[in-house]
Amino acid sequence: MKYLILLALLCCSLYGLKAQEESLPRWLTDAEKAQMSTYQFSDYSPERGSTTPPVGNLRTMAEWEEIEYLLVAWDQNYPTTLTGIVAAAVNECKVLILTPNENSVTSILQNAGVAMTNVVFLDYNFNSIWLRDYAANSVYKDWNDSLILVDWIYNRPRPLDNQAPEAYANFLNIPIYQMTSSPTDVIATGGNYMTDGFGTSVSSKLILDENAASNNYGVTPKTDQDLNAIFNDFMGIESYLKVERLPYDAIDHIDMQIKFIDEETLLVSEYPAGVADGPQIEANLQYLLSNFTSVYGTPYRVIRIPAPPSTSGSYPDNNGHYRTYANQLFVNNTVIVPFYREEYDTIAQRILEEAMPGYNIVGVNVDYDSGETLIASGGAIHCITHSVGVQNPLMISHQRLRDTYDNLNAYQATAYISHRSGISSATLYYKIGVSGTYQSIAMTDIGNEDWQAFIPAQIGEVDVHYYIEATSNSGKTIARPMPAPAGYWKFTVFDAAAASLENEEIESLEVYPNPASAITVIPVKANANEEGLIELVDGMGRRVELIYEGKFPQGEKNHFIDANKYAQGTYSVRIVSNKRVEVHSLVIM
């Protein structure tokens, strides 16, 4: 038996060395596809964590929260990309590098002028660079108390990658819990998972397919409801949203199309009209906006960021790589962003600096200009990194104040502030305009870990910048936004005399995506409550389905159909009201 174990370890080591030499892509290779029918995905590790769900009020950390470690797996074929990431991160936190070649990596970093004080090495011979997909998630027991790690089964036959979370959890002395044993054996990837820090998570429906009765991984079949229950038990997820898979994304990961950048804001990768996955991404976004709200009970804010094409102008529907700026990484006060070419990168940087003022936006090239072309293997910055939260988090959550015409009443700012020792004090700082001087207002504890302050009313058209700082009973202090005072929230007080109300005209809004094969959006905009209906009719004018009947509420409302339910062909969507009939052609593929 002893010799069999040694032989198995030797095989894994040789597999790891071979994988690093060849730099495995994010997708399955042909050789790996051939292994799928016989590879054992669960019960794979001799040093397993607990497969029983953790006990306590669980909360999975959001990416913008304070972290202690950034993790990377040092693939020898991507030294420039990895050096750029480490150089940007070492001033923010410790960087844990998985590598069997510490001396070689140290030499590369030192030659690049990287300060080594915060660099930590773990002697580990992984299979691939795609650490986001196989690393564990930071979860807090009792909401903001004890840090644990939660792992799942990686969807690739890469044994060393699968076991990496146990290796670094033991190295960091952090308890690890694992969704690896039936009936809670879950196939998942970190790139196909994002969360808001308050129990809402989003993935593509890849996770449903990979855990369905027809799965190729040998795990217990699970329904959507089964997965929801498991993620609730292990990670405290109360609302787990799944969006349609994308036609042109070979890996179907959410981190290539959309990203939470705070509790109420979605950063969305945008294509030219009708190009590549643009229509389906838009349909997914509208599905989220129409059916779910932020933790504050309000619609999500949306910031769009253009996806760059190849140098020839090609996008993924025409053999272009899946370039996206959504695949970015929070490292405390810094955001590390994949860069491609200057003419697109400068636009992305401007959008991000406006969306997250004060954050240090650092671009790391992952395209041909870097000489390493990480994006050609199916991923970018977020895909090759992961993080470990701090042991002692101080959490501040605040819904930014909206622009207003009110110049008579003070502006109420409320924040949820939480620490395991309790909160000693909280202060709101505000100033008028970029050149103003910050003034402080003591916040008041109004119960349930909520704190409140009032910014004085302002006259005329002015921009108000503000941030919140809190101190725990144990003496820890942190601000939100984290880079404050360089970072801040902003709202505008408009001149009330200039305010005017205008009647909105009815607009003709297009159905999308079109052609359609999955969730399809039918937007309707009305300027008054009006009776009507929406119906789908076939090429002969026969009603196929009554989609909606009743009052169209004032404003814009999205309605949905699942195009997959219908036979392929050309249909019409008819929107009928008392005053008009609108018809939109819809091709179902």
Instruction: Enter the pTM of the model.
Output: 0.85
- Say what the pLDDT of residue 45 is: 53
Q: How far apart are CA 184 and CA 178, in angstroms?
A: 9
State the amino acid at position 261 in one-letter form.
I
State the average pLDDT for the chain: 91
Domain boundary among 337, 366, 389: 389
Question: What sign results for the dihedral spanned by CA atoms 346, 349, 355, 358?
Answer: negative
Domain boundary among 389, 407, 422: 389
Residue 506 binned pLDDT confidence (cut-offs 50, 70, 90): very low
Is the pLDDT at 196 greater than 80? The verdict is yes
50 DSSP 8-state letter: B
Q: Are residues 310 and 459 in the same domain?
A: no
Average pLDDT over every residue of 113-126:
98
Q: Are residues 13 and 160 in the same domain?
A: yes
Q: Are residues 51 and 164 in the same domain?
A: yes
- Say what the pLDDT of residue 12 is: 43
Q: How far apart are CA 95 and CA 383, in angstroms?
A: 16
Two structure tokens written together for 283: 């349909």
Residue 476 lies in a domain: yes
Q: How far apart are CA 17 and CA 33, in angstroms?
A: 20
Residue 449 lies in a domain: yes
Tally of domains in the chain: 3
CATH code of residue 321: 3.75.10.10
- Say what the pLDDT of residue 43 is: 55
Give bridge partners of residue 291 from the DSSP assignment: none
Question: 485 preceded by cis ω (within 30°)?
Answer: yes
Residue span of the structural domain in which 577 resides: 519-588
- Say what the pLDDT of residue 581 is: 77
Q: Are residues 32 and 55 in the same domain?
A: yes
Residue 136 lies in a domain: yes
CATH code of residue 399: 2.60.40.650
Q: How far apart are CA 488 and CA 396, in angstroms?
A: 13
**With contact defined as beta carbons under 8 Å apart, do 263 and 296 qualify?**
yes
- Give whichever of 412-421, 516-525, 563-572 has the largest mean pLDDT: 412-421
Task: Say which residue, 190 or 535, is predicted with more confidence.
Answer: 190
Is the pLDDT at 504 greater than 50? The verdict is no
Tell me phi and psi for residue 81, to 5 degrees: -60, -50
- Give whichever of 116-130, 362-376, 535-549 has the largest mean pLDDT: 116-130
377 DSSP 8-state letter: G
